[in-house]
Structure 1
Amino acid sequence: MKKPVYLWASLLAVLLLTSCASRKNFVYLQDMEMGLKYPIETKHEAVVHRDDRLSITVSCKNPELAIPFNIYDGTFRVGTDGSVTADASSKVNEKGYRVDVNGEIDFPILGKLHIEGMKVSEVRDLIKQKIEAGEYMKDPLVSIEFLNFKYTVLGAVGSNGTYTVDGDRVTLLEAIAKAGDLTSKAKVDRVAVIREIEGERQIFMHDLRTKDIFDSPCFYLQQNDIVYVEPKYKKKDVEDRGWQVATTLLSVVTAVCSILWAIK
């Protein structure tokens, strides 16, 4: 009657050894202390880049005045007094405005606007100021949203690829989590973010074991950022492979011995 007990114990040992071979040997943000508060120094705002597609809606107390500043995908009615109103089936075009290679959008009435490199709030203020300066309306409300915010994750993560998000707010940790987390081969202190800044590419390196990532300009990702998780060096890979082979052989030997002992 004791043989099944020993058999199950042996199989459990095999599983434990196998799991130990592939476990991660790091802890995220390990220098953060329980109970302490870590202030957020700056508020995140996305920056506009070329090929971004933006949804821009203008509104005011008098809806008729805002119609020329919005792209509608429907029909309009002209009243007897000459006023123009959008048909009930009309809505603001969801394709939005694409930022061209020159960093500009072609906005109704206002014409070409150079917005590349500007924050969303700065674009909003620019449009509002131009509308007011032209005396088209008073106190316009301008709403802006990204329609194609995306980033790419490569390297030692569960799933490489390009990801899109609603809105424009995603952190480096969220991006890694969405990509399936780091693998056991990841160098946790060599997580790079490659970013385009004023026509040049810059690389920022991060150590995910420390809270210092909160102070990084890349903690909040920007449009078209590339996150690259560097894998361990070849020497380390060889060591890991040797450990995996050794534990696998030990597991097989243990399993065979257990089976032979059980059938005696």
Structure 2
Amino acid sequence: MIKSHSLFILIIFIFGSCISNKRITYLQNLAGNEPIDLNEFIPYAEVDYVYILQPFDIIDVDFATSDEELVEAFTFQGARSMMGGGMMGGGGGSDIFYFTGYGIDKDGFVELPRLGKIKVGGMSEEQARDQVQEAINLYFKEEVFVRLRTAGIRYTTLGEFGSVGTKVIFRNRATIFDALATSGETNLLAKREKLFLIRQYDGGTKIHQINLNDRALLASPYFFIQNNDILYLEPRKIRQFGTADNLLGAVQLGLTAFFTGLLIYSIISGNQ
């Protein structure tokens, strides 16, 4: 009788430790959604993906003209030497413009040499570039080209990712799967159906929930990530027994403890 109960408990423990394949497979046709067939065209959601510059962003502002000496006074001293001297690595979570760019203050202004403070917060990169262009045109009769940009797409991963921390994708547009790939993918203990996307908006923040298992994600307004997004993956309850890397060890330890207890119980029962 004891052996039967022990075997039953063992089976429950082993199967309870397993994770269903449906919980870890990306882009499934989930029940309740209209099926999306292979090779079917999936239009993007109609969302404005233009990033709006936020306070504390760092931007790069560069000037170009036929006579470089004319714009030297408008360039931060030492910035070009840093760029040419190998300080633009940008690996991992580093921002390639941290040492050479210009920070936007809490009121949305950026201060440039000679030009002073210019309001760029709450604008797109193109709108901010036009603002700087108007300011520089007051100094020169000939045309001066202005380039203004952010250092790619900067985002942060927390929770059950292969690698957590701040990452940078050096592109103007990136999907949620680009972010996952850059972060070392998710581990088996992550709730892939419950990814929280924390996104900054003008004047505040919103939390959105994403299901990575759902194929309908491809048409979601959150399929593309934006600058300063935070991605958080919740762990499953089994996470309390260990990480994905040491879960097998935890299961083996649990089985060892179980059979040791069973052996001790059998010895004690046999001596009575």
- TM-score category of the 2 structures, normalised to the smaller one: 0.5 to 0.7
Q: Please report how far the alpha carbon of residue 226 of structure 1 lies from its aligned counterpart in structure 2 after TM superposition.
A: 0.9
Long gaps (5+) in structure 1: 1-16, 76-88, 254-264
Would you say the 8 A contact 1:53–1:148 is kept in 2?
A: no
Question: Which of 28, 33, 39 does residue 35 from structure 1 map onto?
Answer: 39
Question: Which of 179, 184, 188 does residue 180 from structure 1 map onto?
Answer: 184
Counterpart of 1:185, as a letter, is: L
Question: Which of 151, 158, 176 does residue 155 from structure 2 map onto?
Answer: 151
Q: Please report how far the alpha carbon of residue 191 of structure 1 lies from its aligned counterpart in structure 2 after TM superposition.
A: 0.9
Would you say the 8 A contact 2:47–2:221 is kept in 1?
A: no
Aligned to 2:134: 129
Would you say the 8 A contact 2:42–2:219 is kept in 1?
A: no
Q: Please report how far the alpha carbon of residue 22 of structure 1 lies from its aligned counterpart in structure 2 after TM superposition.
A: 5.8
- Cα distance, 1:24–1:160 mapped onto 2, change above 3 Å: farther
Q: Please report how far the alpha carbon of residue 202 of structure 1 lies from its aligned counterpart in structure 2 after TM superposition.
A: 0.7
Q: Which deviations, in whole Å up to 9, do the C-alpha atoms of 1:206-236 show, x marking residues without a partner?
A: 111234434444433233221011223x499
Aligned residues: 213
State the alpha-carbon separation in 1 of the partners of residues 221 and 131 from structure 2.
Answer: 25
Would you say the 8 A contact 1:150–1:162 is kept in 2?
A: yes
TM-score, reference length from structure 1: 0.64
Aligned to 1:171: 175
Q: Please report how far the alpha carbon of residue 135 of structure 1 lies from its aligned counterpart in structure 2 after TM superposition.
A: 5.7
Moved more, 120-129 or 158-167: 158-167
- Cα distance, 1:201–1:36 mapped onto 2, change above 3 Å: same
Counterpart of 2:74, as a letter, is: F
State the alpha-carbon separation in 1 of the partners of residues 166 and 226 from structure 2.
Answer: 13
Long gaps (5+) in structure 2: 1-13, 30-35, 86-96, 242-246, 260-272
Would you say the 8 A contact 2:53–2:124 is kept in 1?
A: yes
Would you say the 8 A contact 2:64–2:146 is kept in 1?
A: yes
Deviating 4+ runs (over 6 angstroms): 235-238
- Cα distance, 1:212–1:72 mapped onto 2, change above 3 Å: farther
Describe how 1:1-264 pairs up with structure 2 within 5 A.
21=18, 24-25=21-22, 26-31=24-29, 32-40=36-44, 41=46, 44-73=49-78, 95-132=100-137, 134=138, 136-147=140-151, 150-232=154-236, 234=237, 245=251
SS in 2 for 1:228: strand
State the alpha-carbon separation in 1 of the partners of residues 161 and 153 from structure 2.
Answer: 21
Counterpart of 1:27, as a letter, is: T
Q: Specify the structure having the higher radius of gyration (Cα).
A: 1
Would you say the 8 A contact 2:200–2:206 is kept in 1?
A: yes
Q: Which deviations, in whole Å up to 9, do the C-alpha atoms of 1:54-83 show, x marking residues without a partner?
A: 1110113443433333224289xxxxxxxx
Would you say the 8 A contact 1:24–1:183 is kept in 2?
A: no
Instruction: Give the alignment's Cα RMSD to 1 decimal.
Output: 3.9
Would you say the 8 A contact 1:154–1:160 is kept in 2?
A: yes
Q: Please report how far the alpha carbon of residue 194 of structure 1 lies from its aligned counterpart in structure 2 after TM superposition.
A: 0.6
Would you say the 8 A contact 1:145–1:167 is kept in 2?
A: no
- Cα distance, 1:110–1:153 mapped onto 2, change above 3 Å: same
Counterpart of 2:25, as a letter, is: V
- Cα distance, 1:42–1:74 mapped onto 2, change above 3 Å: closer
Q: Please report how far the alpha carbon of residue 38 of structure 1 lies from its aligned counterpart in structure 2 after TM superposition.
A: 2.7
TM-score, reference length from structure 2: 0.63
